[in-house]
Structure 1
Amino acid sequence: MTNVLLQVCVNGARDIAEHPWLVADPAVVAEDAARSVAAGAQAIHVHPKDAAGKDSLDGDDVARWLRAVRAACPDVPVGVTTGAWAEPDVEQRLAAIAGWTELPDFASVNWHEAGADAVAALLQGRGIGVEAGIWDPGGLEVWRVSPVRGDCLRVLVELPDEAAEVVRDHAEGLIAHVLLEEPGMPILLHGEEGSAWPAFDLAVELGHDTRIGLEDVLTLPDGMPASTNAAMVRVAVGRMQGHDVG
């Protein structure tokens, strides 16, 4: 298999009604995460939820979810979101993160969102690795001039739901600009919905880290519904091994 990091993104901000494994119970999601690791995933990205199943940055919710995932997946790096949709007010978002008692190994920061520099600096100050989410040229420019740019763990080059035929040009354009600023920065390329599997395959081809899971897409490459995150990871690993053979 190619030497790239395979991350499983187990739930995301999706409504819990969208899939049987997208639930508000961290133990259930942690079980699927553990099976995903057994199938070949090397890191986990999870969105902690409140009791109603909505994304939460609250310290109690974050701790509850991290403890459940770590109990099921010992010694596997676990990351969380800091998405503005979970707390739109920047100061309240910072206060929530400052109050975390159980710390993730890494956290994603969307650089097109207000307060990205401050959120990233706070995370780094607490010893939490930062995944810099770059969706578009605007976010890329904010990250380019960020004082914490070079201290990021990796850059997430994130593609929206778009046609497969535009994935390569879109991804390679963003990647080229990232590497122009930080030549040694690890890149994790992924898409969502229609671009998810094409972006995954492109990442493997280019030798970049990547991810797959129910956050990004609910179907397998053939369009059939994915039963679990673990089932998706098994298919992903097979495609990575197939790329080696090719």
Structure 2
Amino acid sequence: MSGPLRGAPLQVALNGSRDAADGAAVPMSPRALAESALAAVAAGADEVLVHPRTPCGRESLSPRVVGPLLEELRGAGVRVPLAVPATIGAEPDRAGRLERVRDWSVLPDRATVSFAEPGARELGRALLARGVAVDAVVPLGGAAGPEPLARFLAWAPPDHGRVRLVAELARADPALVAGLRWLPPVPVVLYGREAEAWPVLRLAARCGAGLRIGVGEVLRLADGRPARSNAELVAAARDMTAEAAPWDAGAPDAAARAGR
């Protein structure tokens, strides 16, 4: 593999599990999320991941929460794909997650499904049946072990074109990425959290995978300074990817397909 693929998507994680206590860089209200999304897209984000919340700040999959937030973002002029999480954090009950997804009246473009959580395969099928693309989140290199990746591989989604593997790397270890060479033909996005966010982003850029950055994953820039906004994080990520040296040693076929 000769270098980073042009067109590999950069997804901005607008808010994640953060709240107001994490600082002014975290957008909270639907209006603030829309403004943050617009600025991040202007800075170079290709996609937006947003965690819908009730007025009291609790994550939710309720149609009364998801729909208005998506309409706020789209009404404000956010024209890139929008993703929401369909995870335990938003709805703890396994059956409840399925019910909520089936009740959505306003659909996101994508939804994240954690394969470290129970019911991931049926939830993924329900989303695909509704026309929502699936980001299958799999932790690699951490306490979860190999089981989430094994569950994803056993899922065998019927439409690879609407499924991505989103690998959360515990550390920026090329061996973790090389281990993805036996994946089905799906695009790959790599990301890390907190101290690992920037090293993993650099690795993702070097192997041509899709990228994720934003205050939902990290509150500081690569040099340790506090980030003022999602847009600042996205701009810094774009600068980093432009400077990333190609990674050739053992580059997996899966990474070479990322972003296509």
The Cα offsets for residues 37-73 of structure 1, whole Å up to 9 and x where unpaired, read as: 0011111011011111121111111011111111234
> Residues of 2 paired with 1:67 and 1:90: CA distance?
26
Work out whether residues 51 and 84 of structure 2, in 8 Å CA contact, stay in contact via their aligned partners in 1: yes
Distance 1:156 1:73, change over 3 A: farther
Work out whether residues 6 and 211 of structure 1, in 8 Å CA contact, stay in contact via their aligned partners in 2: yes
Runs of 5+ in structure 2 lacking a partner? 141-145, 247-260
Query: Is 1:22 matched with 2:26?
Result: yes
> Residues of 2 paired with 1:222 and 1:50: CA distance?
34
Equivalent position of 2:152 in the other structure: 143
Read off the aligned partner of 1:205 and give its amino acid letter. Answer: R
Q: TM-score, normalised by structure 1?
A: 0.90
Instruction: Identify the match of residue 89 of structure 2 among 85, 89, 105.
Output: 85
> Residues of 1 paired with 2:78 and 2:226: CA distance?
29
Secondary structure in 2 aligned to 1:145?
Answer: helix
What are the residue-to-residue correspondences of 1:1-246 with 2, within 5 Å?
3=6, 4-136=8-140, 137-148=146-157, 151=160, 152-160=162-170, 166-169=171-174, 171-173=176-178, 176-177=179-180, 179-182=181-184, 184-243=185-244
> Residues of 1 paired with 2:191 and 2:159: CA distance?
21
Greater alpha carbon shift after TM alignment, 15-24 vs 50-59 = 15-24
Equivalent position of 2:258 in the other structure: none
Work out whether residues 134 and 155 of structure 1, in 8 Å CA contact, stay in contact via their aligned partners in 2: yes
Residue 127 of structure 1 deviates from its aligned partner by 0.2
Q: TM-score, normalised by structure 2?
A: 0.85
Higher helix share: 1
Runs of 5+ in structure 1 lacking a partner? 161-165
Read off the aligned partner of 1:158 and give its amino acid letter. Answer: E
Residue 93 of structure 1 deviates from its aligned partner by 1.1
> Residues of 2 paired with 1:23 and 1:6: CA distance?
19
Equivalent position of 1:163 in the other structure: none
Aligned residues: 237
Secondary structure in 1 aligned to 2:54?
Answer: coil
> Residues of 2 paired with 1:79 and 1:170: CA distance?
29
Distance 1:19 1:2, change over 3 A: farther
The Cα offsets for residues 159-198 of structure 1, whole Å up to 9 and x where unpaired, read as: 24xxxxx42246325xx33x3031x311000000011000
Higher relative contact order (CA 8 A, sep 6+): 2
Read off the aligned partner of 2:135 and give its amino acid letter. Answer: E
> Residues of 1 paired with 2:55 and 2:151: CA distance?
34
Read off the aligned partner of 2:163 and give its amino acid letter. Answer: L
Distance 1:243 1:23, change over 3 A: closer
Work out whether residues 12 and 45 of structure 2, in 8 Å CA contact, stay in contact via their aligned partners in 1: yes
> Residues of 1 paired with 2:158 and 2:224: CA distance?
37
Work out whether residues 52 and 84 of structure 2, in 8 Å CA contact, stay in contact via their aligned partners in 1: yes
Equivalent position of 2:255 in the other structure: none
